[in-house]
Chains A and B, each alone.
Chain A
Amino acid sequence: MNKYLLLTIFLLLHLAAIFTFFPDRIIASTSKGHWEAITLIFMLEIVFIWFYMNGLSKFPGETIVDICLRTIGRWGACVLLLPLVVFLMGQMVLLIYYQTSQIRAVLLQSTPTAATTFLFLVLCFYGAWKGLAALIHASIGLFVLFIPFILFSMLIGIKNFNFNYIFPVWDGTFSFLHHADFYICFTILSSFLFLGMIPQKERPVRFGRLAVGLGVVYVFGMGSVYIPLLVFGQESAVLLQYPMLMASDTIDLEWVVFDWLPSFSVVSSSGLAVLMASVLLWMSSSLLHQLLVPKLNIKWMVSMLSLLVYILCLFIPNIEVMNRYLQLNAFVSLFCVIGLPMMIFILGRWRGKKVST
């Protein structure tokens, strides 16, 4: 597998998470100095990636499941990895719910959620059925398809920017640390965990390149927060459910074929979300498959899990409940995003010592 392929899917997964959970949470978590919160998140992520990659490099040719099974046994692996499965499933359900409600709000107002969710999940199911390798190859196509749309819908608002709304730019108290919404943003960090599911010989990407990739993601993250902020100002942006989407609706361009510019933003963000949900679905099926029932065909696992996700999606009654689940999931994500890389790192150290003695 080519390193550029891996970097592309790394970028796209982050973008999907950013367009879903990021801007409204950051804007809600603090009223000033948003860049501090964004920078802190990405700095933490780069540290975790380093731990993760460093730990993984000690086990050439093995995935996180192999590592855990071999070093800490089946029970230990279950304790460490089952929360990850719970988190991934939760993330997937919430992602799909959020995206379908966005599609419903903007594009298909009279279509029942059950129908949109079904279509959405069929695509994810197909992706996960084909496996991670196919998804990684598909990411190049999605990159070419969607990045122009994303850039277009982000930059089109530039005429309406009012740069004075950046201020106040410094928050000495780091008030966002006391806010639950800030911790929800940690769920976007899950986008690097898939790297551990590929054996190292097929993973020719090193930490340095990932850091560069993350730099690009950081720029997009800043953009996704600051674009609505510069257009609407903190005071009104905080009231909006889909700030990025609304920011792209403020432009009046008579020469664009489509009058309804937010559709660009919806189509690109939900397109990326399909990729992300497929990867999440594949990851959770493959984890469960290897941990619990290695004899069963993985495709059964994928089918069962997508049915489960569909049912769970229909069980979320409204956006309020989604927010509550999102907060719960943020706790699990803290465990997975911080705990898992550290654990892999420690296991790597351990093994390093054993080998040298």
Chain B
Amino acid sequence: MKVGFARTCTLTLSLVLLLTGCWDTKDINKHYLPAVMGIGKGDSQKYKVILQIPIANEKTQILEKEAESISKAIDLIRTDSEKSIDLVHLRLMLIDIQLAQDGIGDIINFAVRANDISIKGLVSIVDGDFDKTLYHQISPTPEVSSYDFFSEEAGWTPNQSILRIWEAYRNQESLSEDMGIPMLKDGKQTLFTFKGTAVMRKDRLVGSLNQEETLLYNLFKGKYTGGTIEVAKNTSVLIEHAKVNHHTKWTEQGPFLQTDIQLNVVVTESPHGKSADIIEKDLSEKLSKQFDQTWKKIHSLKADALGIGLIFRPQSKEEKIKEWKTVWFPKLVQKIDVKVNILNEIYFKEKSSKQNEGDMLKRGTKL
């Protein structure tokens, strides 16, 4: 009896140990949880950090400080704010284009190292007025919308590139690929307007792709669901499926890559009487040309944003992998071949070109 009582007492008292978990605890309503962090060039100091904090009444509170390092700036914001600031729910990092030109390596390293920032957060570059974009609000603004802009489960389309912190970290360290970061500025009706993709060499911005080129960039990387391509006036197709095949070869001059892209599309819009064959032909010619131009543009920047080094990795020896970005990528020769297959025209029957000619003849005789 006595032993049992003592045991129960010890057991109950030992629950006190669990209180160690409440060390330094702070209530949830004493927290600011920023969703967006903007990192720009300061007026007098190296960095300017702007935090967007969603608050309960559907508004966004914005806090800003300047310092020589990011964490110092956050610390200064903490000093002045009424509540504690917790970065665990940070979802989007916006970096000023001026900083990106000097290199974002330090910023990405900070984000990976800080153990309260989740590395699945998104990175993008502000191409335009940095302050205006960060202070831009459209009402009513459900706070998450800045993140939903990119979310594949919400507002993302293949016209936008997408990059997460861990991908940025991986690609800046990687021997085989560089990265493309989405660029945006404040929008008129929406929160942001997508401007294109920044092409980075290592961690430095060296050039950019526009929206159409971004679609091709995504297509090449296999992210295409729901992309619409305009073939010509009044004619557009929707990509249903894309198959990208790479044939790699090491020649004496260097690497050679033949890429075959097979697109399965449906016609969403076409002028009356334009046959599928013609659309197919137009589209594959147009895309081949565009791909070629985009590829030349990226190649001339000497930045392997398409990650071609990875495609060559299976065939390369370790020395060649190490020299990929400096020696072999500039020597790379690439040919891109696009084949288009029109699946159907959704609710319309497909017109073969022969039938079409017959139609025209009839019309001709009537006239």
Chain A interfacial positions (CB closer than 8 Å to B): 31-32, 105-106, 108-112, 115-116, 118-119, 122, 162, 164-165, 167-168, 231-233, 235-236, 239, 246, 249-252, 254, 259-260
Q: A239-B173, A249-B166, A250-B120 are in contact. Are A105 and B115 (CB under 8 A)?
A: yes
CB contacts under 8 Å to A, within B152-170, are: 153, 164, 166, 169-170
Mark out the residues of chain B between 298 and 322 whose CB falls within 8 Å of any chain A CB in the assembled complex.
310-311, 313-314, 316-318, 321
In the complex, A292→B175 CA distance in Å? 56
- Determine whether B282 belongs to the interface, using a CB cutoff of 8 Å to chain A: no
Residue numbers in B under 8 Å from A115 (CB-CB): 20, 23
A233-B174, A246-B119, A246-B166 known; A118 vs B20 contact (CB < 8 Å): yes
Given known pairs A108-B23, A118-B20, A168-B318, the reply for A235 and B174 (CB within 8 Å) is: yes
Decide if B17 is an interface residue (CB 8 Å cutoff).
yes
In the complex, 29 of the A-B residue pairs with CB atoms within 8 angstroms, ordered by the A residue number, are A31-B318, A108-B21, A109-B115, A110-B23, A111-B24, A115-B20, A115-B23, A118-B17, A119-B18, A122-B14, A162-B310, A164-B176, A164-B313, A165-B310, A167-B313, A168-B321, A233-B170, A233-B174, A235-B174, A235-B175, A236-B169, A236-B170, A239-B173, A250-B164, A251-B120, A252-B151, A252-B164, A254-B153, A260-B118
A236-B170, A252-B120, A259-B89 known; A116+B20 contact, CB < 8 A: yes
Is the Cβ of B310 less than 8 Å from the Cβ of A260?
no
Known: A108-B23, A109-B116, A119-B17. 14 other contacts (CB 8 A): A110-B23, A110-B24, A111-B21, A118-B20, A119-B20, A122-B14, A122-B17, A168-B318, A233-B174, A239-B173, A250-B120, A250-B164, A252-B164, A259-B89
Chain B residue at minimum C-beta to C-beta distance from A235: B173
Q: Does B88 contact A (CB under 8 A)?
A: yes
Which residues B95-124 have CB closer than 8 A to chain A?
115-116, 118-120
Residue of A118, A167, A249, A259 with highest tally of chain B CB at under 10 A = A167
B317 contact from A106, A164, A168, A260, Cβ within 8 A: A168
Inter-chain contacts of B313 with A (CB < 8 A): 164-165, 167-168
When distances are taken between beta carbons in the complex, the residues of chain A under 8 Å from B116 are 109
A250 touches B23 (CB 8 A): no
Residue of A nearest to B121 (CB): A252
Question: Bound complex: CA of A236 vs CA of B203, how far in Å?
Answer: 14
B187, chain A: closest CB distance, angstroms: 23
With contacts A122-B17, A235-B175 taken as known, whether A250 is within 8 angstroms of B166 at the C-beta atoms is: yes
Chain B: interface residue count, which band?
A: 20 to 34
Bound form: Cα–Cα A299–B118 in Å: 44
**Which residues from B are CB-within-8-Å of A162?**
310
Docked pose: A251 CA to B164 CA in angstroms: 10
A254 to B151, CA, bound (A): 10
**Chain A positions within 8 Å of B174 at CB level:** 233, 235-236
Collect the chain B residues with CB atoms within 8 Å of residue A31's CB: 318
A235 to B318, CA, bound (A): 12
In the complex, the answer to whether A233 meets B176 with C-beta atoms within 8 Å is: yes
Give the docked Cα–Cα distance between A162 and B175 (Å).
Answer: 14
Q: Judge whether B173 and A106 touch: CB under 8 Å.
A: no
Chain B residues numbered 11-31 whose CB sits less than 8 Å from any CB in chain A? 14, 17-18, 20-21, 23-24
Give Cα distance in the complex from A115 to B317, angstroms.
50
Q: Are B17 and A106 in contact, with the CB atoms below 8 A?
A: no
- Given the complex, which residues of A lie within 8 Å of B318, measured CB to CB? 31-32, 168
**Chain A contacts for B170, CB-based, 8 A:** 231-233, 235-236
Contact B119 A249 (CB under 8 A): yes
Q: A111-B21, A115-B20, A116-B20 are in contact. Are A249 and B176 (CB under 8 A)?
A: no
Q: How far is the CA of A260 from the CA of B91 in the complex (A)?
A: 12
Known: A109-B116, A122-B17. A232 touches B89 (CB 8 A): no
- Bound: A159/B26 CA distance, A: 35
- Are B173 and A236 interface neighbours, CB within 8 A? yes
Closest A residue to B317 using CB positions:
A168
Contacts of A246 in B (CB 8 A): 119, 166
Note all chain B residues with C-beta closer than 8 A to A233. Answer: 170, 173-174, 176
Q: Which residue of A lies closest to B25 (CB)?
A: A110
List the A side residues contacting B21 at CB < 8 Å. 108, 111
A254 to B220, CA, bound (A): 26
Chain B residues near A118 (CB-CB < 8 A): 17, 20
- Nearest B residue to A114 by beta-carbon distance? B20
CB of B223, distance to nearest CB on chain A (Å): 12
CB distance from A264 to the nearest CB of B (A): 14
Contacts of B317 in A (CB 8 A): 168
List residues of chain B with CB within 8 A of the CB of A231: 166, 170
Given the complex, which residues of A lie within 8 Å of B310, measured CB to CB? 162, 164-165
Is A250 in contact with B119, judged by CB distance below 8 angstroms? yes
Nearest CB in chain B to that of A164: its residue: B310
Chain A residue nearest to B91 (CB atoms) is A252
How many whole Å from A52's CB to the nearest CB in chain B?
A: 38
CB of B23 within 8 A of CB of A232, answer no
- Which residue of chain A has its CB nearest to the CB of B312? A164
**CB neighbours of B23 from chain A (8 A):** 108, 110-112, 115
Contacts of B115 in A (CB 8 A): 105-106, 109
B321 and A164 contact, CB distance less than 8 A: no
B163-200: which residues lie under 8 A (CB-CB) from chain A?
164, 166, 169-170, 173-176
Closest residue of chain A to B89, judged by CB? Answer: A259
Residue of A nearest to B169 (CB): A236
A239's nearest neighbour on chain B, judged by CB, is B173
Q: Chain A residues near B166 (CB, 8 Å)?
A: 231-232, 246, 249-250
Min distance, Cβ A3 to any Cβ of chain B, angstroms: 34
Minimum distance in angstroms from B257 CB to a CB of chain A: 14
User: Digit string of B304-348 for contact with A (CB within 8 Å is 1, else 0)?
Assistant: 000000110110111001000000000000000000000000000
Q: Smallest CB-CB separation from A246: which chain B residue?
A: B119
Q: Which residue of A lies closest to B118 (CB)?
A: A249
C-alpha gap A282/B43 in the complex (Å): 62
Which residues does chain A contribute within 8 Å of B20, judged by CB atoms? 111, 115-116, 118-119
**Contact residue among A112, A119, A168, A249 (Cβ-Cβ distance under 8 Å from B316):** A168
A118 to B118, CA, bound (A): 28
Looking at the assembled complex, report how far the CB atom of B44 sits from the nearest CB atom of chain A, in whole angstroms: 32
Query: CA separation between A111 and B17, bound complex, in Å?
Result: 13
Shortest CB distance A287–B (Å): 28
| CB of A121, distance to nearest CB on chain B (Å) | 11
Closest to B109 in A: A239
Distance (whole angstroms) from the CB of B41 to the closest CB of chain A: 27
Taking the closest CB of chain A, its distance from the CB of B300, in whole angstroms, is: 24
